[in-house]
Amino acid sequence: MITAITFLFCLFLARFFYIQVIWEDDLNARALDQWTREIPVSAGRGNIYDVNGELLAGNLPAYTVYARANAVTDAEGTASLLSDALALSYETLYEKLTDGSRSEIVLLRRTEKSVAERIEGADLDGVYYARDDVRFYPHGALACQVLGFTSFDGSGSTGIEQYYDKYLAGERGEILFETDLVGVGLEGATAAYIPATDGLSVRLTIDYRIQALAEEVMRAVLETSSAKAVRAVVLDPSDFSVLAMVNLPSYDLNDIPRNDLSALNALSRNAVVSDIYEPGSTFKIITAAANIEEYLRGNAAAYALNAIFSSSRTRVVDGTTIRCWSDHANGKHSNQTLAEALNNSCNPCFVDLALALGKQTFYDYLAAFRFGRATGIDFSGEAIGMLLPESTLRDCDFARIGFGQTIAVTPLQLACASAAAVNGGYYYAPRLVDAIVTEDGALLERTEPVLLGRTVSEEASAMLSSMLEGVVRDGSGKKAYIEGYRVAGKTGTAQKYENGHIAQGKYVSSFVGYFPADDPRYLALIIVDEPQGAYYGSTVAAPCAGQIFEGIIDLFRLPPSEE
C-alpha cells in the first residue's frame, strides 16, 4: 500500500514538474494567443545580387488585408465598403466577415498601398492590414532556373530562393493587442510591438552580363536549329565559380505559370544540374587525360603520345562491332597519334585507350573526376549521373565509355571534370553563391573555394590542353577558333536512346571549350538537344562557344595572347 501511494505521489510530482517547468513556455504562448490579437509584421526578404552587385531579385511594397469576424461590428457596412475598395464581391466578403469559426481571415493578398490607406482611413472594426511585399525580378527570365521563385507565403520554393531560404527569409514580427475571449479589442489596452528581422542578401558568383550574353547566343541557336532545348554553363576553371548557367526554353519570373504545373515543372527545372545525358565525344577529354597521366607515370599499358593507332574503322569487343563515325575512306583517320585522334574525334582510338588502361585503372580516374556522384554544388536536386558498377561491366560496354557512351552525366559534371582536366588537375566544388551580405553591402559570410581532390598532374594537364588547343586550331572545333586567342576544346555528337533503342534522327550536339589554353579562366559547355538539320557538335555547338568567348573578350577588353 505504501509503495502504491509513493508511486502515485511520484507520478503526480513528475506531472507537476512537467507542466510547471517543461511545458511552461508553450502554455504561456497559448494563453497569450487566447488573450491577444496579432497583426503580422512581415520581414523584408533579402535580395539576390550578381557578383558585381546587380539586383537580380528584390521586393516591391504590397499589403495584405485581414479581418477578425468576431471583432467586426457592422458586417453589412464593412462588406459594402470593402467590396468597392478591394474589387471583391459583396456576398463573398459578407460570408467571410460573418464566419465566426475562424479567428483570422485573409480578405486580399498583396494589394497596393493606396488600397491599404483607404481601409485605414475608414477605421473599420475588425479589419486591418499588414505589409506583405511582392518578390520582383528586374531581369525577368534571366537565369530563372537558377534564381528560382517563392511561394504565396514568401518562402523559397525552388533554386537559390529555396536553397538559401534560411538567410533570405528573415523572421516575422508582430503587433499584439489585448482582446477578450471572442477577439474584440479591449478599450484602453496598449499594443506590444515585436519588430521583424529582415532577411540577409545573397551575392552570386554569376555575372549577369555573361549570363545575358550566353542566353542571347543560346536563344539564337535554339531558334535557328529548331532544337528541343539548349543548355550552357560558363565557369571559372581556377576555382569552379559559376559565371553563367543557361536553360532554354525559360519563363518570366514575374509571370510564373502557376496554373499549369506541368509547364511550370518543365520550365523551372535546372537541367544543367538535374538532368543526365550521354556526353559522346566531349568525354574523350577524360579518357585522354587518364592515358596521358598513366603514360607519365610509366604505365606500360598506356599509349605513348606519339603512338600510332590502327587505322581500321572498327573494333570488335566481346563479339560486338564498334564503329567510328567516319567511314575512314581515302585514308581518313589513318596513322593517327593521340593528338590527331582528338582532332578527328576517332572513336576506335579511344576504345583502344580505355581497354589498354583496364577497368580498375580507368574507374579510378572516373572516381577522381567525380562521375557517379554529386559535384557538391550549392543547389538542390543535383543528379549523380549513371555509371555502371565496375563488377558488372562487360568489356564491350566498357569500351564505349572511352568515347562517351554507356555513361550518363549531368552537364555540370562534365563541365567540372573538363575543367579539372585542364586547370592543372584540381577539382573544386562548383558554387553559385559568392557571399552572404547585409542590405548595405557589409560582408557577413564568404563562400571560399573548396578543393575536393586531384585528378591528374599539372604536366599531364598541360599536355592535354596543348592537344585540345589543336582541336580548335586544326580539328573539329575550328568554328570556336578566335584569331589571336588561345582557345581549346572538344566537340561531341551523341545519338539519343529511347526505350533502350537508338532514336533515329535525334542527336545531342555539344562542345566544351575554354581559354586561354595555357591558363584557363573561362570554360563553356554548350549542349543543343535535338537540333534539326545539321546536328554535328562541330557545326552546331562549337560556334556558340566561340560567340560567347568573343563576347567575354569584348566585355572585359581582354588582350590577345602573347603567342
**Neighbour count for residue 544 (Cβ, 10 Å):** 26
CA distance 85 to 127: 13
- Residue bearing cell 508511486: 7
pLDDT at 183 over 60: no
Q: What is the dihedral of CA 187, 192, 196, 197, to 10 degrees?
A: 180
DSSP E strand stretches across 325-439: 426-428, 433-437
**Neighbour count for residue 483 (Cβ, 10 Å):** 6
- What is the rounded radius of gyration, in angstroms, for the C-alpha atoms of the chain? 31
- 59 in the Ramachandran plot: left (φ > 0), alpha (ψ -120 to 50) or beta? beta
Q: What's the mean pLDDT in 266-295?
A: 97
CA distance 263 to 257: 7
pLDDT at 12 over 80: no
pLDDT tens profile 91-138:
888 888 787 767 778 888 888 888 878 887 778 787 877 777 889 999
The C-alpha cell at 235 is: 565557369
**Contact partners, residue 474, CB within 8 Å, separation at least 6:** 343
Q: What's the mean pLDDT in 305-322?
A: 89
pLDDT at 375 over 70: yes
Instruction: Please confirm, yes or no, whether 311 is among the known catalytic residues.
Output: no
Give the pLDDT score at 206.
98
62-132: which CATH topology?
Penicillin-binding protein 2a (Domain 2) (3.90.1310)
CA distance 557 to 237: 20
CB 67 within 8 A of CB 108: no
468 vs 83: which has the higher pLDDT: 468
pLDDT tens profile 27-51:
454 544 554 556 666 778 999 999 9
CA distance 132 to 61: 7
What stretches of 402-475 show up as alpha helix (H) in DSSP? 411-422, 458-474
pLDDT-above-70 percentage for the chain: 89
Give the pLDDT score at 32.
47
Burial track 142-169 (b if 16+ CB lie within 10 A, e otherwise): bbbbbbbbbeeebebbbbbbbbbbebbb
pLDDT tens profile 61-81:
888 888 877 778 887 888 788
CA distance 225 to 223: 6
Average pLDDT, the chain: 88
**Neighbour count for residue 303 (Cβ, 10 Å):** 22
DSSP E strand stretches across 206-357: 229-236, 241-248, 314-317, 320-323
Catalytic residue, chosen from 250, 268, 281, 538, is: 281
pLDDT at 186 over 60: no
Tabulate helix, strand, coil % of the chain (nearest 5).
40, 25, 40
524 vs 84: which has the higher pLDDT: 524
Comparing 81-90, 293-302, 391-400, the range with the smallest average pLDDT is 81-90
pLDDT bucket at 170, cuts 50 / 70 / 90: confident
CA distance 133 to 172: 12
CB 542 within 8 A of CB 511: yes
Q: What is the dihedral of CA 287, 292, 295, 300, to 10 degrees?
A: 20
Nearest to 118 by CA among 142, 150, 94, 82: 82
Comparing 65-69, 251-255, 298-302, the range with the smallest average pLDDT is 65-69
CA distance 425 to 427: 7
The C-alpha cell at 41 is: 509584421
pLDDT tens profile 228-247:
999 999 999 999 999 999 99
Q: pTM of the predicted model, to two decimals?
A: 0.87
208-556: which CATH topology?
Beta-lactamase (3.40.710)
pLDDT tens profile 338-362:
999 999 999 999 999 999 999 999 9
Q: Which residue type is seen at 514?
A: Y
Q: What's the mean pLDDT in 538-555?
A: 97
pLDDT bucket at 13, cuts 50 / 70 / 90: low
CA distance 457 to 451: 15
- Strand pairing of 48-49 and 201-204? parallel
φ and ψ at residue 447, rounded to 5 degrees:
-95, 105
Give the pLDDT score at 177.
59
pLDDT at 377 over 50: yes
pLDDT tens profile 477-518:
999 999 999 999 999 999 887 777 778 889 999 999 999 999
CB 371 within 8 A of CB 398: no
Nearest to 372 by CA among 387, 362, 388: 387
Q: What's the mean pLDDT in 179-183?
A: 52
CA distance 287 to 234: 22
pLDDT at 248 over 70: yes
Domain ranges of the chain: 62-132, 208-556
pLDDT tens profile 413-443:
999 999 999 999 999 999 999 999 988 878 8
